[in-house]
Amino acid sequence: MATRKIVTLGNVTLRKKSKPVVDFDESLAVLLDEMKATMIEKKGVGIAAVQVGVLRRAVIVEIEPKEYLEIINPQIIKTKGKVSDTEGCLSVPGFYCDVERPQYVKIKAQDRHGREYEFEAVDYIARCICHEIDHLDGILFVDHTEEGQKYKKQHGVE
C-alpha cells in the first residue's frame, strides 16, 4: 500500500479547517488506506487527512493493537472529566508535552461507506480521538500549552 508525505508544523495547510466528506467513493477508500499505511509506517496511533495534505474531515485512530477506527465527519457529542498526559504528533516530530483533554468522549461519525455510528472512548483513546479531531479544525496539540507556545516561538512557526 502506498504511503503519503506527512505535512509538518509550519505548513499552512495544517492551520486550515477541513471540509466535510460528501463522496463516499473509491477515492475516499484509497485516502483512508494510504492514511493508515502512513500512520503505521511512521509508528503513529492516529492520523487526520490534513496531515497528508488533504482538507477532508477524515481521521484514523488505532483503538487496539492493529485495530483501527475510521472516523469520517466526526462530531463530539459529549465529554466528561479532564486529565493531563503527554502527547506527540506526526506533524510535530520530536516534541512532546502534557496536554489536558477530556477523560471521556462520545462521538457521532460516519464510516467509509457513509453509515453513521456513535463511539465512546475513555482515557488514552479519548485523548487520541480529541487530538485528531482538533486537526480537522486547524488546531495542534502545541496550541494547548505554554510549553507548546514556546516551542512554536523558538521554531518561528504558528
Q: Which pLDDT tens digit goes with each residue over 91-102? A: 999 999 999 999
Residue 103's closest CA among 120, 69, 79, 87? 79
Indicate the pLDDT class of residue 158, thresholds 50, 70 and 90: confident
Helices (H) and strands (E) in the chain, counts: 3, 7
More confident: 158 or 80: 80
Q: CA–CA separation, 134 vs 117, rounded Å? A: 20
Report the catalytic residues: 132
Q: Which residue matches cell numbers 496536554?
A: 99
Provide the grid cell at 13: 495547510
pLDDT given for residue 52 in this prediction: 98
CB neighbour burial string for 131-144, b if at least 16 within 10 angstroms, e if fewer: bbbbbbebbbbbeb
* pTM of structure: 0.96
Domains, the chain: 12-154 (3.90.45.10)
Amino acid 89 reads C
